[in-house]
């Protein structure tokens, strides 16, 4: 963002607006300019480019391809193309200009005098300079992929710029979204390393061995008291209760010496053999320690969680009554 102190004084603001054109007929009725400039931005095969196509009557007089780094957004590319169009028209001697873009977001940013995006600020400064040069400049939004010749030409050029350009980038400021994503991924990676190297959270790791994958899944699960006890092993289970002196025996009711833990309840306890058998039929897979996390990733997550919560609820309620 451009620092507010570097932005133009409010008294210097120019009232800007754009018009929307939805078909060839409307475009033709708004083409009576000495120079028409079509702009576009593209992200293709992970690469980003922008372009402008300048027309005098029925002839293209200049085409520019602009390169951006892969972390840039299409929005930035669209803004760059519009900004470059205003920069180019300052070099020309023609009186009237029409700038056409299929990015409403970019045009809204440009015409919003409170927007401090550096490309928008420069665009408005260029348009202000154009008025000092007695030049008339109009901004238009046109519908993308509607067969409009100039727009289709700019679209092709932008794709070519994205894929084929090997020169220095015309704009290399990274978007805020990229910074946030980078910080988030670095944070998740650090969290994951600490999580996987720790000697704690053994039960949780059965369901979520990878913290990054867990970060995406856990938001889809409604937390309850039962799911929390299930995924931590901290709850009304004999082994856990015995550890804190709340129960004399850590064993399950199925067999003396068989610790009542989450893996035992879900995978081996004969008390729940029938429920387990039906669940495995619905899941179309055998359950074991190595497969629990796979059910959390797959399409059968809800079936699996329903089975787990049913068993945990039975065990917790049973131990409450003891």
Q: Does residue 18 sit in the same domain as residue 80?
A: yes
125 and 264 inside one domain: no
Give the mean pLDDT of 275-288: 95
Q: Is residue 165 part of a domain?
A: yes
**Pair 145, 217 in one domain:** no
Please indicate, yes or no, whether residues 35 and 168 belong to a single structural domain of this protein. Answer: yes
Residues pairing with 67 in the sheet: 49
Instruction: Tell me if 108 is assigned to some domain.
Output: yes
Backbone angles phi, psi at 108, to 5 degrees: -65, -35
List, edge to edge, every strand of the sheet that includes 136-142.
18-21, 136-142, 96-101, 35-44, 47-56, 59-68
Question: What confidence score (pLDDT) does residue 174 get?
Answer: 74
Q: Which whole number is the average pLDDT over 131-142?
A: 95
Range of the structural domain that residue 239 is part of: 200-320
**190 found inside a domain:** no
Of 155, 173, 191, at which residue does a domain stop?
173
- Decide which of 179 and 94 is more confident: 94
Does 124 lie in the same domain as 60? yes
Q: What is the pTM of this model?
A: 0.61
Asked if 168 and 229 sit in the same domain, the reply is: no
Residues 150, 53 share a domain: yes
3-state DSSP call for residue 137? strand
Query: Using 50, 70 and 90 to split pLDDT, how confident is the model at 9?
Result: low
8/154 same-domain check:
yes
CA distances from 268 to 156, 198, 254, 275 (A): 62, 27, 10, 12
Residue 100 C-alpha from the chain's centroid: 28
For 132-151, what is the mean pLDDT? 87
In terms of domains, do 103 and 238 share one? no
> How far from 112 is each of 37, 100, 109, 169, CA to CA, in Å?
21, 17, 5, 26
User: pLDDT averaged over the chain?
Assistant: 90
For residues 1 and 235, which has the higher predicted lDDT (pLDDT)?
235
| Residues 74 and 102: beta-carbon distance below 8 Å | no
pLDDT band at 7 (very low <50, low <70, confident <90, very high): low
In this structure, the answer to whether residues 15 and 124 fall within a common structural domain is yes
Asked if 109 and 204 sit in the same domain, the reply is: no
Residue 139 or 12, more confident: 139
CB atoms within 10 A of CB 10: 8
Question: pLDDT tens for residues 221-254?
Answer: 989 999 999 999 999 999 999 999 999 999 999 9
């Amino acid at each position: 963002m451009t620092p507010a102190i570097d932005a133009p004084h409010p008294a210097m603001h120019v009232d800007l607006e754009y018009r929307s054109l939805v078909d060839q007929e409307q475009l033709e009725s708004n083409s009576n300019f000495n120079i028409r400039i079509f702009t576009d931005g593209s992200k293709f095969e992970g690469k980003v480019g922008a372009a402008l196509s300048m027309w005098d009557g029925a002839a293209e007089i200049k085409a520019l391809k602009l390169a951006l780094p892969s972390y840039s957004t299409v929005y930035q590319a669209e803004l760059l193309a519009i900004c470059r169009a205003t920069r180019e028209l300052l070099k020309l001697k023609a009186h009237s200009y029409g700038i056409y873009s299929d990015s409403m977001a970019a045009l809204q940013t440009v015409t919003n005098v409170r927007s401090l995006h550096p490309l928008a600020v420069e665009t408005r400064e260029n348009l202000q300079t154009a008025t000092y040069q007695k030049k008339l400049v109009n901004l238009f939004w046109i519908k993308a992929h509607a067969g409009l010749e100039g727009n289709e030409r700019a679209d092709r050029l932008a794709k070519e710029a994205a894929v084929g350009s090997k020169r220095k980038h015309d704009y290399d400021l990274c978007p805020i979204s990229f910074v946030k994503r980078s910080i988030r991924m670095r944070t998740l990676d650090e969290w994951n390393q600490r999580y996987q190297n720790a000697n704690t959270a053994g039960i949780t790791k059965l369901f979520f061995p990878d913290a990054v994958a867990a970060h995406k899944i856990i938001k889809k699960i409604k937390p309850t008291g039962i799911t929390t006890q299930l995924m931590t092993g901290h709850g009304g289970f004999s082994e856990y209760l015995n550890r804190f002196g709340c129960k004399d025996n850590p064993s399950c009711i199925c067999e003396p010496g068989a610790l009542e833990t989450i893996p035992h309840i879900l995978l081996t306890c004969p008390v729940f053999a029938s429920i387990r058998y039906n669940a495995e039929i619905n899941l179309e897979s055998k359950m074991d320690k190595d497969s629990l996390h796979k059910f959390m990733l797959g399409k059968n997550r809800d079936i699996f969680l329903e089975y787990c919560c049913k068993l945990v609820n039975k065990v917790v309620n049973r131990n409450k009554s003891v």
